[in-house]
Amino acid sequence: MRYRGLLHKTKFQVLVILVLCIQLLGPQQLFSISTVKGEGITEPAIDDSSNETNVNNEELTDIEPPVTDDSSNQPDVLVENPSPQSELTIDSILPTINFIKPKHGDYLNSKILEGTTEPSATVSICMDCTEDSEGVIIGSWVSVQADSTGKWSYQDPELTEGNHAFYAKAIDGEGGISNTNKITFIVDTLRPQVLPDVFPKQDMTQVSLNPAIKVKISDATELNEEEINNSINLTQNGTKVEGTFSYNKATKEITYTPLEALSPGVKYNVFISPLGIIDAAENSAFPRIWSFTTVGIKSEKHPNPHGSYTNNVDTCGNCHSTHNAKDANLLTTNTKAETTQTLIETETNKKEDLAADVFCMSCHDGTVVAPMPENSKAVHTHDAAVKIDGTPSGSSCGSCHNPHLEQSENNPNMAQDHITYKHQPSNPVDPNKPTEEISSKEQLCESCHENDSAEKIAHADVKYSVFKYSKSSTATGIYEDYELCLRCHNEEFKSKYNKSADIASHYNNLTEEIMKQYEKTNGPSSFAKREISVAEESFSGHIIKAQDGSPLVGQLPCAECHDTHGSNNIKQLKTSLGHEGIQSFAALETDSKTVKVLMENKELELSILSESKEREFCLACHNGTTAIYGVTGQIYDVALNEHLAYPSKACSYCHGRGESEVEKALSAAHAPKKGLVPN
């Protein structure tokens, strides 16, 4: 007998006919065919009179064909061992595909797209494809696999900033294909930047007691105005100063105004919080921190806080004693440091030995309106006493500051200054007259021009400049940015006094002259816009290009690792390192080791960090999470063969250069090189 099934769904037709043809072993139910939807679960009616089975295709689920012989008679005996029942499920539901991140029209602040579909389905993706006039998608398709829960993700490291179109479809295990869905979105992974031109400026002094703290933000998208009130934090000695916020949407300038007048002669810290500056793509700003000091006397600003010498010469008597002083500077007390020929003969410069500093600290001790230097009472302070011409003096403060200057916007802390002049050759030749450019830091003008120095200094060809101590908001990364430190920490001072480390040689590859020559060839401001070259990276691994809006595109500022006036750590190392993912750091005397070195035919004992402490110091930044200037330190690779071979060695063992451990330690800290295992 021949059975025929009438099915409307063509996918079922052939399969059902085959099933009916092989039913020879009895009336047992051998196959169960069902749809996922479970439509009409009934048994079909069979009309034996016409030797034909008519099946209602809408009700087809279970088929139990009878067994007959050629005479159309039913058998009397059933098969004793019927075949086991088999079940075949037909999936008639097409898969769907959904987008979780991003949604249509959204910003995306990463390069990973996420969505859902059927578990274990294949997702075909076409990024930035196009459609022709007939709706055919033109482009390259790639596939990703959904997991057992149906979640899928697609990552494209080459995805550029800006607008994109994204096509996707899902293919399930039975070959069912979903509709192709399309979304458009905008990639924006760039974080908002705080522009360097903040107010009050970094380290600014004599700031009004009723200031308006202002910062401008650079970002291509709108800021989340609901979070602006968390953007600026003003504190004094850890106590928050309450205030009000305003935001100029057109200029993206945020203004913070304290509710009450600030205290006179006090240092305040400004912290720009990433939690308060968030753009439409949910990118948070880079953090920024700086400090300023308010004016000493309420509502009165003094260009020269130490007095107007021209109007009142008695002011000089505050520090100088005309008749009683024994030294050339007429300071009232002779000191151990002033009577020595070289710094090496003085084991240490203690504060009680620095006469001029006693005068400074009699006011700058926090008891009057003069600001007290930060960390000035720390365990380790900057006690080097050097005059402007490089000779030892009785003042550590005077090594960096000139108390006789007037404050200005470009020199708010009255840092030491100098003048330079290039002498013209004399005719006849005067062997005692210099012919190259000479600086007053090398030789005072008064040494030759005792009677006419003022007239000579006023000459148009004489260049006046301040020794810079640039930090995060002002440093471009050239040698001159850190000249206040490097004028002592150089090879010449090291040779003369044996105590001063040569740091300058690790910073001298980028100078103001090199910057001028570069911009002469490549155009104005091109130096700051350049990418770090291979040669620069080879010279120092600490030459970086800031990503947080800071102007830095060169050497790291000294202040990133050292506290200026003092620290409880040896080497005046900072107790916290980094701008983001800040790490605490402690280095006591017990964390150092003594190394014997030969300098100028004399054996000296110098201290450096121990191997373990040096590693800890380096890893405070090189951990993959801590960042400065928006640049994350390269992570220490524990699986690197050299790291496995020398697990307890100091980083400077391979990344420093020099003949001694001291030189290698200085090299690795200030200009680390590519790792090289010593022979």
Does the structure show a pLDDT above 60 at 105? yes
Summarised one tens digit per residue, pLDDT across range 307-334 is 666 666 677 777 777 777 766 677 655 4
CA dist 490 and 503 (Å) reads: 6
pLDDT band at 582 (very low <50, low <70, confident <90, very high): very high
CB contact at 8 A, 61 and 35 = yes
Quote the pLDDT of residue 130.
Answer: 93
Question: Who contacts 462 (Cβ-Cβ below 8 Å, separation ≥6)?
Answer: 419, 420, 421, 456
CATH 2.60.40.1220-classified regions of the chain: 98-187, 193-294
CA distance from start to end of the chain = 93
Provide the pLDDT for residue 39: 41
3-class SS at 643? helix
Token pair 């970094």 is at which residue? 202
Say whether domain 193-294 belongs to CATH 2.60.40.1220. yes
Q: Give the pairing type, strands 31-35 and 86-90.
A: parallel
- In the block, tokens 């000579």 appear at 456
Residue by residue, what is the 3-state secondary structure of 76-88? CCCCCCCCCCEEE
For 216, the enclosing helix (H) or strand (E) is strand 213-218
Evaluate if pTM is beyond 0.85.
no
Task: Tell me what percent of the chain is helix, strand and coil, each rounded to the nearest 5.
Answer: 20, 25, 55
* Beta-sheet strands, E only, within 490-548: 543-545
The pLDDT value given to residue 597: 85
pLDDT of 369 strictly over 80: no
Mind listing the pLDDT tens digit for each residue in 387-445? 766 676 767 888 899 888 888 888 888 999 988 888 877 788 888 777 778 888 777 78
DSSP tag of 573? B
Domain spanning 98-187, CATH architecture: Sandwich (2.60)
- What is the percentage of the chain residues whose pLDDT exceeds 70? 78
Higher pLDDT, 275 or 367: 275
- Give pLDDT, residue 25: 45
Residue 50 confidence (pLDDT) above 80: no
